[in-house]
């Protein structure tokens, strides 16, 4: 007997029944889960689209290494890039965006942390330079103050020298005044001095006048030196004032930079913690996303096993029916005394193949994808058609509804078996439905409305994920459309 698969767990029959009409039982659970994710403090609005696919068959898994090892043909680079751009946009329909948001939040925190580290290092450098400048300014100030003290002492010495020279000059002037009258020569003559004495007296008088002249010259020199020393004193005072201002500014700079370094250090510590938090959130979301994907793979493989067995059973049943017809034909031919005629296979139910389930645009084609965040190859196991929630979905061909149930990844699913088409057993699957319009066991005609577009399960937007199983193996739907 061919096994049946009403959802994943027979114990969930209650929820599956409620899904038969509108799929309401499963939708709130999925929506609230996404709302909790989107309400997470780690979510940030920025980011790169990530491709999270719904399923992968055992045969597809076997081709992953060759897909990795075989890079795109350079000659078709532009065409592939255009295709990748369209697929990246469509991939948003195939995954919750929490992984991408969490990774973006982590990357932003890391960028901010690096910026603060650079600013912190620059501030430390400026602080070290300011401290060095402060030491230089302090040295210059000490030198200027020492020069000022020397200038003050020089001025004091100069003023004392001027005082002494003025006293000497005063006495010389007084002596000159007393000796430079007309009575001096007369006194020498009246005293009866000899001519030699007179000559000596005149020489003495000349010496006195020379001493007086030298004293006045030294006085003038001392005054000039004093003026020079006072000018140096003024310059030294200005230098001291400038060095004090420079030293005060460096102290101010050192203080400000010290505060800046402390603030940057605290900010770096805060951002480091934020980065750790966002990293942990990103890892959790990546692990959850990977776990969800693995569950999709498990679901697809489970369905594949069932459909492979079903296709085998259908072929065996068809073979038995043909064998029975052949036996009947041989018996009839024996009775009619003629050779038996050739017996054809069962006539196909759908000689014209499959048609589009929705007359709309394709948002994401079938094929292998390399996930930019999880860094694994994934199979997008169907063709996505973009359409608003509630859009009618039509049977791609005539057939019988074999299964319908809710799955956490695919949402509300509907299976229609179309029998043998072109020698292969074909089953179409419609995913993420918001509502069913048929029941299990019902015969449907090609083009009949069987359900409505939704966004149930692992989906972030209204669309139809359309799948085709050929002899139990998932294949590209476009091969049959």
Q: Where do the domains of the chain lie?
A: 12-69+77-95+355-481, 117-269
Is 291 a residue whose pLDDT tops 50?
yes
Residue 446 pLDDT class (50, 70, 90 cuts): very high
Tokens 């982590």 locate to 106
At residue 336, the pLDDT reads 92
> Which tokens go with 371?
């996930």
Mean pLDDT of the chain: 74
Is 335 a residue whose pLDDT tops 60?
yes
> Which tokens go with 352?
């014209």
- Calculate ∠ Cα 140-143-148, nearest 5°: 125
What DSSP line would sit under 16-35, residue for residue? HHHHTTT-TTTHHHHHHHHH
Q: How far is it, in rounded angstroms, from Cα 378 to Cα 61?
A: 9
Gyration radius from the chain CA atoms? 53
Is 39 a residue whose pLDDT tops 70?
no
At residue 174, the pLDDT reads 65
Q: Is the Cβ–Cβ distance between 26 and 456 less than 8 Å?
A: yes
CATH class of 12-69+77-95+355-481: mainly beta
At residue 131, the pLDDT reads 80
At residue 6, the pLDDT reads 45
**Is 206 in a helix, a strand, or coil?**
helix
Q: Is the Cβ–Cβ distance between 2 and 389 less than 8 Å?
A: no
Is 3 a residue whose pLDDT tops 50?
no
**Is 45 in a helix, a strand, or coil?**
coil
> Which tokens go with 453?
């577009």
Which CATH number describes the domain made up of 117-269? Answer: 1.10.287
> Which tokens go with 430?
């419609």
Q: Is the Cβ–Cβ distance between 303 and 134 less than 8 Å?
A: no
> Which tokens go with 472?
């139990």
At residue 432, the pLDDT reads 96
Q: Taking the CB of residue 143, how many other CB atoms lie within 10 A of it?
A: 13
Say what angle helices 183-190 and 195-336 make with each other, to 10 degrees: 140
Residue 76 pLDDT class (50, 70, 90 cuts): low
Q: How far is it, in rounded angstroms, from Cα 436 to Cα 5?
A: 17
Residue 169 pLDDT class (50, 70, 90 cuts): low
Residue 11 pLDDT class (50, 70, 90 cuts): very low
Q: How far is it, in rounded angstroms, from Cα 478 to Cα 469?
A: 12
Mean pLDDT over residues 340-362, rounded?
Answer: 84
Whole-model pTM?
0.51
More confident residue, 130 or 76: 130
Is 447 a residue whose pLDDT tops 90?
yes
What lies within 8 Å, CB to CB, of 74 at 6+ separation is: none
């Amino acid at each position: 007997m061919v096994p049946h698969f009403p959802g994943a767990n027979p114990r969930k029959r209650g929820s599956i029944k409620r899904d038969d009409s509108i799929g309401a039982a499963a939708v709130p659970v999925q929506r609230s889960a996404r709302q909790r994710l989107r309400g997470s403090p780690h979510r940030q609005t920025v980011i790169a689209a990530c491709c999270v696919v719904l399923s992968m068959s055992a045969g597809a898994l076997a081709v992953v290494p060759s897909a990795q090892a075989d890079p795109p043909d350079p000659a078709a680079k532009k065409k592939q890039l255009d295709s990748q751009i369209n697929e990246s946009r469509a991939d948003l329909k195939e995954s919750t965006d929490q992984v991408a948001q969490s990774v973006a939040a982590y990357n932003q925190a890391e960028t901010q942390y690096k910026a603060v580290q650079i600013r912190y290092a620059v501030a430390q450098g400026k602080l070290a330079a300011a401290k060095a400048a402060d030491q230089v300014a302090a040295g210059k100030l000490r030198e200027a103050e020492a020069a000022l003290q020397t200038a003050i002492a020089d001025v004091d010495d100069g003023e004392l020298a001027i005082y002494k020279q003025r006293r000497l000059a005063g006495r010389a002037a007084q002596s000159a005044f007393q000796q430079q009258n007309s009575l001096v020569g007369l006194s020498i003559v009246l005293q009866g001095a000899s001519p030699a004495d007179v000559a000596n007296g005149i020489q003495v008088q000349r010496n006195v006048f020379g001493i007086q002249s030298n004293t006045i010259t030294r006085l003038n020199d001392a005054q000039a030196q004093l003026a020079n020393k006072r000018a140096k004193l003024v310059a030294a005072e200005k230098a001291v004032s400038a060095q004090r201002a420079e030293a005060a500014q460096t102290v101010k700079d050192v203080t400000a930079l010290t505060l800046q370094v402390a603030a940057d250090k605290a900010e770096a510590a805060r951002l480091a913690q934020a980065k750790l938090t966002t990293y942990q959130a990103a890892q959790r979301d990546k692990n959850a996303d990977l776990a969800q994907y693995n569950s999709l793979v498990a679901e697809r493989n489970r369905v594949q096993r069932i459909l492979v067995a079903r296709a085998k059973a259908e072929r065996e049943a068809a073979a038995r029916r043909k064998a029975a017809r052949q036996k009947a034909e041989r018996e009839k031919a024996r009775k009619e005394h003629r050779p038996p005629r050739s017996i054809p296979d069962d006539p196909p139910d759908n000689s014209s193949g499959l048609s589009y389930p929705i007359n709309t645009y394709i948002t994401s084609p079938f094929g292998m994808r390399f996930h930019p965040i999880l860094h694994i190859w994934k199979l997008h196991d169907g063709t996505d058609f973009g359409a608003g929630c509630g859009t009618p979905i039509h049977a791609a061909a005539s057939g019988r509804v074999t299964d319908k149930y809710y799955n956490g990844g695919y949402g509300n699913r509907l299976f229609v078996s179309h029998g043998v088409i072109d020698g292969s057993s074909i089953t179409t699957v419609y995913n993420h439905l918001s509502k069913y319009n048929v029941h299990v066991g019902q015969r449907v005609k090609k083009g009949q409305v069987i359900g409505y577009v939704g966004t149930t399960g692992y989906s972030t937007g209204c669309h139809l994920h359309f799948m085709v199983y050929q002899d139990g193996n998932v294949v590209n739907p476009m091969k049959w459309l």
